[in-house]
Structure 1
Amino acid sequence: MDTLYGAQARDKIWSLIKDIKVALMATFDEEGHIFHARPMMAQNMKADFDGTLWFFTGADTRKAREIAHTSRSLLTYAEPGHQAYVSISGHARIVRDQAKIDEYWNDFNKAWFPEGKDDPNLVLIRFDAEDAEFWDAPGPVVTGLAYIKAFVAGERPRVGQVGKVNLSH
């Protein structure tokens, strides 16, 4: 398993997550020892990935309190139809930045923030990625054939690419 760095690392992760709409974001509980995960939708999925992902949340939410206590967080992405899986570790922090809110706001977000982008409870989670692991296979048909071949040969299947990336460089 090779480790990718810099632009190559960012490009690989972006190629795998850019079309996945929802990630699971895991944060430590307020005691700092048990992960709590929930589905989240990154707001900057139309831009190039520079190692930072942005999410809307409420300032009064459990996740905001957990992030304020312990910034260490984890994002997981899965696209079983394309056999793409990514786990990204990093740090999250709560940010009040009206310019970023204006940049990423869309009408879909009104479901969560009916007062709109000026809702006083609306804040951003800035997630800065550090490391990631990925599993990238060529698709279910090729994967299935590789499993059959491995079964017949009495070997482990070898499908796609598994790797690590360092996003902090």
Structure 2
Amino acid sequence: MSQSSDHPTREETIKAMAAVMKGVKFAMLTVETEDGHLQAHPMTTQQTEFDGDVWFIGGKDTQQVQSMMVRPNVNVSYSDHGGGNYVSISGVAQLVENRAKLEELWSDFYKAYFPGGIDDPSVQLIKIEAQGGEYWGSDGKLKSMLQMARAAVTGKPATDLGTNETVEF
């Protein structure tokens, strides 16, 4: 990504992505199923600093985790509707056994899914190693709505609906 007055640096894009990710409670994690269909599941966002890896806690016995074992290419998407900001990350899922990391990410919230708590045998750490990402940011809903309304009236495409940047990891 080139640095100019119109485009943020790679680091600025990653920082903007991280801010959206941190502010969104649930992400959608998309896997490829056995029959080749894409299937998305809501996952709780972990409050860790985004460094190219995204972490989740899932269940070993779920179709989602079973799919990642065989087909590890996944997508994680974050949507901040109120702020008009969106992030999409493509990456490779790894099923990790790491007690220290599990303890870092664990909260009592997960007892709803894992009655045995942190020691429940079905708890599975999921690490998504980002390969690429995309960020869409809005300067505000009102500005975007005015741009779309102007385009609808004039028949000319909207010229400024916000920021769109991609980054490779």
The residue aligned with 1:125 is 126
Distance 1:7 1:137 in 2: 19
Q: Could you list the per-position Cα deviations for residues 84-141 of structure 1 after superposition, in whole angstroms to 9, with x for gaps in the alignment? A: 1221100011111111111111111111111111111111010111111222112211
Question: How far does residue 153 in structure 1 lie from its aligned partner after superposition?
Answer: 4.1
Q: How many residues align?
A: 164
Asked whether the 8 Å contact 2:94–2:127 carries over to 1, the reply is yes
**1:29 is aligned to 2:30:** no
Residue by residue over 1:55-110, the C-alpha shift from the partner in whole angstroms, topping out at 9 and shown as x without a partner, is: 11111111111111011000111122211122110001111111111111111111
Between 1 and 2, higher relative CO (CA 8 Å, sep ≥ 6) is seen in 1
Question: Percent identity over the alignment?
Answer: 32
Tell me, what secondary structure is at the counterpart of 1:18?
Answer: helix
Distance change >3 Å, CA 4–CA 144, structure 1 → 2: closer
The gaps in structure 2 that reach 5 residues or longer are: none
Give the drift of 1:4.
7.0
Structure 1 counterpart of 2:167, one-letter code: V
> Structure 1: 5+ residue runs without aligned partners?
none
1:53 is the counterpart of 2:54: yes
Q: Give TM-score scaled by structure 2 length.
A: 0.87
Report matched runs for 1:76-87 at 5 Å. 76-87=77-88
Q: CA RMSD in A?
A: 2.0
> SS state of the match for residue 30, structure 1?
coil
Closer, same or farther in 2 for the Cα pair 1:151/1:6, shift >3 Å?
A: closer
TM normalised by structure 1 equals: 0.87
- AA in 1 matched with 2:129: D
